[in-house]
Amino acid sequence: MSYISARDTIVAFRREPVSPALPSVEQAVRSSQPSEPMYCLRPAVIRDTAARFAQDFRGDTLYAVKCNPEPTVLRAIWDGGVRHFDCASAGEVALVRSMFPDAHIHFMHPVKSRRAIREAYGRFGVRDFVLDSAAEFAKIMDETGYAEDLGLVVRIGLPPGGAMYDLSGKFGAGMEETVALLRAARPVARRLGVSFHVGSQCMDPLAYRRALQMAGEAIRLAGVAIDIIDVGGGFPVSYPDVEPPPLGAFFAEIEGALDALNLPAARLWAEPGRALVAAGASVVVQVQMRRGDALYVNDGIYGSLSDAGAPGFRFPVRRVLDVSEGDADLRAYSFFGPTCDSADHMKGPFMLPPDMAEGDWIEIGQLGAYGVCLGTDFNGFDRAQLLQVRDAPMLETPGHEPIRLAA
């Protein structure tokens, strides 16, 4: 039995499938013949990938909830041994606490509303807060009643780097302000930290070394004791024609740079999102019309395929229930989504058989990260069938091979 979940509210969509996991996407398509997008979760893949990251990373793994807040995904992360969660809103804090009363929740958004700070601290037991300005520091202190049990983490700004998504423009304090904030926060913080973010889908392991050197310079200039070094997220995964260095190369640069800072008492944190969940979900869409090399499908940039629009991500694709053999004759297609907006266009190219036609189903992989969670109800296209499958992901990333845990 399939489960249709309408997005009347954000929270309404965050419910788990009620049916048992099916063996494969093919069986799911055969049994339901879906006319709406079908979001296929692979919780076992997410669980095992999270376990691998947590085992290999030297510090605490904080899952970035914004990347995919589906309860099935969060439960798989928890089952993989992750006990820390990077939350960026009061809603995420409430969701995680409702599911995992014993979780360690860290409020890592540098600009929070006063109410969000107050509720996170007073109602949900959050003690760790990130900041990148004196104004935010004052808000945190005011809304927690100048609490004496706070973890305060100062986010340092980085110059633009080589990440697919550059995150240097919105958050992060300059060097002088970082030093001032560290000095101001040290007397009132039970634990004090420095954080940064090199950008999403970062392909250069040396970016972490350079960022840690900047963090080390701020710590040296501030002249205060540091309890936490948070290297943020950005760990990349594979996409068609994109094969990042193995995850171990990133960890090696982080560990080497951290050792050079000579901060033996500092706890290391990371905030992976994409690296834990990208391979753990795919979306099945149906072709509604073909016009030359353009396929009109029933999901698009206002649904689960936002990254395939302006950002230009190329996702792995395949025709489901395909009887053709080999891929020698694959053809390059672009996609149009179901809305009336001409911007609902995904250039690709997406490589599929030359005889694609109305009614064909296409599985689009690597959508466990920033897929359905970015969807809207624009134009009334606001439904997605949510289910679980047990088959292998369409694409794996070198060095991300999951630990195979017992079911």
pLDDT at 326 over 70: no
Position 381 confidence tier, pLDDT thresholds 50, 70, 90: confident
**Mean pLDDT (whole number) for 71-91:** 97
Q: What is the pLDDT of residues 396-405, one digit of tens each?
A: 776 666 566 6
pLDDT at 19 over 80: no
In CATH, what class is 4-42+281-388?
A: mainly beta
Position 380 confidence tier, pLDDT thresholds 50, 70, 90: confident
The answer to whether 178 touches 186, Cβ cutoff 8 Å, is: no
What is the DSSP pairing of strand 4-6 with strand 383-388? antiparallel
pLDDT at 405: 61
Q: Where are the domains of the chain?
A: 4-42+281-388, 43-277
Q: How far apart are CA 376 and CA 192, in angstroms?
A: 38
pLDDT at 12: 38
pLDDT at 85: 98
pLDDT at 57 over 90: yes
Instruction: Return the minimum-mean-pLDDT range out of 138-147, 162-171, 239-248.
Output: 162-171
The Cα angle at residue 304 between residues 92 and 172, in degrees rounded to 5: 50
Cis before 246? omega within 30: no
In percent, the amount of the chain with pLDDT more than 70 equals 90
pLDDT at 13 over 50: no
**Mean pLDDT (whole number) for 358-368:** 96
**Mean pLDDT (whole number) for 97-118:** 98
Q: How far apart are CA 97 and CA 110, in angstroms?
A: 20
pLDDT at 2 over 60: no
**Mean pLDDT (whole number) for 205-222:** 96
Instruction: Return the minimum-mean-pLDDT range out of 21-35, 221-235, 289-303, 311-325.
Output: 311-325
Q: Is 4-42+281-388's fold the same as 43-277's?
A: no
Q: Which CATH fold would you assign to the domain 43-277? A: TIM Barrel (3.20.20)
pLDDT at 378: 85
Q: How far apart are CA 108 and CA 125, in angstroms?
A: 14
